[in-house]
Structure 1
Amino acid sequence: MTRRHLTFACEGATLVGTLDIDGASHGTGLLIVSGGNELRAGAWSGQAQLATRLAHAGFPVFRYDRRGVGDSEGENLSFRGALPDIAAALAAFRSAAPHLSRIVAFGNCDAAAALMLFGAELQVDGLVLANPWTIDGEEAPDAMPASAIRSRYLGKLASPREIWRLLSGGVNLGKLARGLRTAAGHSPAHAGLAQDMKAGLDAFAGPVAILLASRDRTAQMFEEAWGGEDPRIARIDSASHSFSDEAAREWLHARLVEALTR
C-alpha cells in the first residue's frame, strides 16, 4: 500500500489531498469528505486509519482538506459552500486513480449534510452518510434534542434518589418545567436545512446508507428532524460521534465495505 500526498486547484485556491492505494486495487474507491474544521486525518486520526485499512483491502481512498482547513488555502465557506471543494477533490481522485469505474462518497456530520445537499450534482455512485448535521444558522450546537431529554427524565423518574430530591426541594423547579416543556415537544427549527437535505437526497439516483451512533446528540437531532422510519438508516449503540470505540470502528468499516462492494 502506498500513500501519496498531492495538490489540486479549487476556485483559485490550492487544496491538499492524500491518496491511499494498493497495487492490486479494485475498480471502486472511497472519497472521504471531512466536516467542519476537521483535518483530512480525522478526529484521533480515524480517517487516516480507515483509509489505510480499506486500501489494504484493495479499495483506493482519497481524503482532503477543504478550503481554509489544514494544509489547504482559501476561505472555509462551511458545508453550505463545500460543493466546489468536493467536486475538485473528486476530479483529483479520478485523475490520480484513472482505473476507477465507481466512487462512493462518505461524510460524517456536516460533511454528510453537504453530500445530501449536493450529491445529485456530483459524479459519485453511492453515498454513505454518518450522523448528519441538521443545525443551520445560529442554532446552539450543544442543544439536547427532545427525545434525549425525554429519555433522561424517564431515567430520573425510575430513581428513588431523584424522586427524593424532587420531594425535598433539591430540584430547581423552573429548570425542571423548562425541560419538561422541551421534552413534550420537538426540537426547534431544523426544518429548513432538513428539507433541503431531503430534496437533495431525493434527486440522487444511487444507493444511500445513513449511519447513526444512536447515543450521539447530532444523530439524535437528525432523527428528530428526519424521522426514524427511513429504511436506509442503520444504527449502532454508541455515543461516539466519530465512531471511536472499537465496536463502532468495526461496524463503520463493515458498512463501508458493504457500500463499496454493492
Structure 2
Amino acid sequence: MRHQLSFACEGAVLAASLDEAEGTTGLLIVSGGHEVRSGAHRGMAMLAQRVAEAGHPVFRFDRRGIGDSDGPNGSYTSSGPDIAAAIAAFRKAAPQVTRIIAFGNCDAASALLLHQPLALDALIIANPWTYEDSEEEAGEPALPPASAIRARYLSRLKDPKSLLRLLKGEINIGKVFRGLSALKQTPRPPTPDSLADRLDSIIAELACPATILLATGDRTAQAFMDALAPSLAYIEANPSTVRIEKLASPSHSFAGGDADWLYQRIITALTA
C-alpha cells in the first residue's frame, strides 16, 4: 500500500511517498533535476511499486522547493540536508527497516556522492552528472565526449538516409562542423576541484558499497565515463565494493524496456 506523508527539513515541510512492504532492506529514491518524486512519466512511482511488490519498502520525496515541498530550491548541490532528513523519516515510517540503499539518477546520483557520508548502507548511482554549470550557460549544451561523437558520426556515415539528408541540406552543417571539431580534442584529466574531480575522489574513498549503472548511449553517462576513464577502468578490472554495470542504450532514465534492466539491478543490490 502507498502512503503520502511529510517530514521537516531545516524549517521546510517536505512531501514524501512510502510504498509499504515487510522487508527489512528499503530503497530510498532520490529524484534528479527538478523532477517530482513520481519521476518522468511516473517512472519512479512505477519502479517503487514493483520493488515494494518484491518485498522491499520504498521511500520517495520532493526536495525543498520541488513539487509538493516548500522552502527554497537550492538544486542538487545543497540537497544533503534533504536526503539526510528523508533517511530519518524513512526509518520512522518503516521501523522494521535495518538497511537503506539509495538510488539516484543524473544529478541525484551526484548528490548522493557529494553529500557523503550519509546514513546509508549502499548506493546505486546511475548516469552521474559531471557537467559544470558554466558549460550550460551559453545556451547550447556542452558537447559530448569525442569518443561518443566519433561513434555517432561513423554510424551516420554508414546510413544512406543520413547521407541523403546531408546532400538535401536537411542537416545543419554548422552542427556537423562543431561536432567534427570536437574529434580533435584529446581526453584530459578532470580539472582540479571540478565536479568530475570531486566525484572521482569521493568514489575512490566510499565507505559503503556502490553500484554504478551506465546507459552507454546516454550523453550524461558518456561524459562521466570520459571524465573518469582511468578510475572506471581500474574499478572494472578490480571489482570490490564498487561495481559498474553497463547497458547499451541511449535512455537516460532507463525508459521502456530498459526499465526491466534497471529493476533487476536494484533488486540485486537490495538482496545482496
Q: Name the SS of the counterpart of 1:103 in structure 2.
A: strand
1:135-175 deviation per Cα after TM superposition (whole angstroms, max 9, x unaligned): 12221273331222111222344456777998999998776
Q: Name the SS of the counterpart of 1:75 in structure 2.
A: coil
For structure 1, which segment, 84-93 or 202-211, has the greater mean C-alpha deviation from structure 2 after superposition?
Answer: 202-211
Give the match for residue 139 of structure 1.
Answer: 135
Give the match for residue 95 of structure 1.
Answer: 92
For structure 1, which segment, 213-222 or 79-88, has the greater mean C-alpha deviation from structure 2 after superposition?
Answer: 213-222
CA RMSD of aligned residues (A): 2.6
Pair 184,47 (structure 1): closer, same or farther in 2 beyond 3 Å: same
Q: Please give the alpha-carbon distance, in whole angstroms, between the structure 2 residues aligned to 1:173 and 1:244.
A: 31
Give the match for residue 68 of structure 1.
Answer: 65
Structure 2 unaligned runs (5+)? 237-242
Contact 1:117 1:199 in 2 (8 A): no
Structure 1 unaligned runs (5+)? none
Instruction: Give the alignment of 1:41-190 within 5 angstroms.
Output: 41-118=38-115, 120-140=116-136, 142-145=141-144, 146-158=146-158, 176-186=176-186
Give the match for residue 14 of structure 2.
Answer: 15
TM-score (norm 1): 0.89
Give the match for residue 251 of structure 1.
Answer: 261
1:106-138 deviation per Cα after TM superposition (whole angstroms, max 9, x unaligned): 0001000001112x3201000000111111222
Contact 2:31 2:62 in 1 (8 A): yes
Contact 1:55 1:61 in 2 (8 A): yes
Contact 1:186 1:224 in 2 (8 A): no
Contact 1:165 1:171 in 2 (8 A): yes
- Give the total of aligned pairs: 257
TM-score (norm 2): 0.86
Contact 1:117 1:201 in 2 (8 A): no
Q: Name the SS of the counterpart of 2:67 in structure 1.
A: coil
What residue identity is the alignment partner of 1:150?
R
Q: Please give the alpha-carbon distance, in whole angstroms, between the structure 2 residues aligned to 1:68 and 1:27.
A: 31
Contact 1:32 1:105 in 2 (8 A): yes
For structure 1, which segment, 172-181 or 233-242, has the greater mean C-alpha deviation from structure 2 after superposition?
Answer: 172-181
Q: Please give the alpha-carbon distance, in whole angstroms, between the structure 1 residues aligned to 2:35 and 2:114.
A: 19
